[in-house]
Structures are given as structure tokens and as C-alpha cells.
Amino acid sequence: MATQKAIKTTATGSSAQADTPTAPVTYMAPGLMELRLMLRVGAAWIPVTFKGGRRGGYGDYQAIFTTSDAALQYMIEQSPEYKSQRISKVK
């Protein structure tokens, strides 16, 4: 049995592959335990919450955010916070 990929037709009539999964990407906010980032997209605001940071006797852990949504990855990487290195990708 062969698998089929879903095809979506756009408003212009062209077809595109639907919901192509992307690899998860993790971003970190160095020196912060939490960060509520508000991304502006047109007239809308999209909230992105970095969590999990803590400080302890064994070191600091930065706040992180992981997503596999390609559109959200693009928005984060085009944000002023990413370009100024306030947030960065975990390698």
C-alpha cells in the first residue's frame, strides 16, 4: 500500500504540499529564566513563551522554546530580538 501526500489547492488554483513537517528547532534566551516574546505579524501579535530557565548551585539554565512550525521559526528568526542576539538557536 503506497502512502499519499495531501495536496492543498490555494486560492489561485495552484497546488502545494500540505503541512510539510519540519525538524524541531530550539531557541534559547541567554541569562533569562522566562521570556514572553510578542511577535508582530501585520496587525496581529503572536505570543511566544520561553520557559524552563533556572539558577542553582550547579549553574544556570536558560529559558528555551521549541517549535517544529516552519512559519513560527521564520517569524522568530526575522524578529529584532533574534537579529540582536537576545535570543538564539541551540546548536
β-pair partners for 36: 49
Q: How many CB atoms lie within 10 A of CB 28?
A: 20
CB of 70 closer than 8 Å to CB of 16: no
| Mean pLDDT value of segment 13-25 | 65
Residue 7 has pLDDT above 60, yes or no: no
Contacts 24+ apart (CB under 8 A), 38-41: 39/75, 39/76, 39/79, 41/75
Q: Assign 76 a pLDDT band (cuts: 50, 70, 90).
A: very high
Residue 14: the pLDDT is 45
All structural domains of the chain with their residue ranges: 22-89
C-alpha to C-alpha distance for 27 and 55, rounded to whole angstroms = 18
Residue 59: the pLDDT is 86
| Mean pLDDT value of segment 50-72 | 91
